[in-house]
Amino acid sequence: MRVEIWADVVCPWCYLGKRRFEGALATFEHADDVEVVYRSFELDPSAPAERSEPLLGHLSAKYGISPAQVQAMQDRVSALAADEGLTFHLERARTARTFDAHRLIHLAGDLGLAPQMAERLFAAYFTEGMTITDTSTLVALGEQVGVPAGRATAVLGSTQYADRVRADQQDAAALGITGVPFFVVDRRLAVSGAQPQQSFAELLSTARYQEAASDLRI
């Protein structure tokens, strides 16, 4: 069974959804038969390489709502994250283009480290307030999960894996994915959003049942 997860590393609901999905997977009887693949999705492909403006001000201007409304939204998602054991410090976050972070996840994936790399990037952005568009920061984060610094430096200094990021985004468009997180199982079943853990458990069970029924028909 293959579960593809389209997400962006600056999406709070993606981090929350990832944690809830992992909780469901940990209790799934056939977890060893599940391959999890991380797919790239940029929430804002036109974002600058760096942005010094705090997230609150940026979102207020982008969506035309008051800073107080943005703060209420951030407080809500932070509380939900805390329920999953995550600590958000959104006041430290600075949004920027995530294309290189996605390339790093693809590199890590070729080394069998995609889940660890995605987790480290999420934590760096949401908890530690790190600038995950900075090449030296990305290299250091990669090294922390086992991606050789020299390899990461070479990739980020080139266009390697750019085609994979774009292919993921083209796949997303073809599948009608307009928001993330988005979870697709064997290109047959899909759910959108940071669903409750029980919903992910039901998704996995349904996919397993369909897989078994297909094998019987064969």
**129-139 pLDDT per residue, tens:** 998 989 999 99
Q: Are 171 and 180 in contact (CB under 8 A)?
A: no
Q: How far apart, in Å, are the Cα atoms of 216 and each of 23, 209, 211, 213?
A: 29, 11, 9, 5
| Domains of the chain listed by start with CATH number | 2-217 (3.40.30.10)
Residue found under tokens 């209790």? 27
User: Does an H or E element contain 207, and which?
Assistant: helix 197-217
This prediction's pTM: 0.92
Q: Are 39 and 7 in contact (CB under 8 A)?
A: yes
| Cβ count within 10 A of residue 30 | 14
The whole-number pLDDT of residue 47 equals 82
- pLDDT tens digits for range 2-11: 999 999 999 9
For the chain, residues with pLDDT lower than 70 are 51-52, 214-218
Query: At a CB cut-off of 8 Å and minimum separation 6, what does 19 contact?
Result: 84, 85, 86
Nearest to 201 by CA among 24, 83, 49: 24
- Give the model's pLDDT for residue 59: 84
The DSSP secondary-structure symbol of 49 reads S
What is the distance between the alpha carbons of residues 17 and 5, in angstroms, rounded to a whole number?
Answer: 10
Q: In this structure, what are the phi and psi dihedrals at residue 153, rounded to the nearest 5 degrees?
A: -60, -45
How do residues 70-113 score in pLDDT, each as one tens digit? 899 999 999 999 999 999 999 888 878 999 999 999 999 999 99
Nearest to 131 by CA among 121, 144, 117: 121
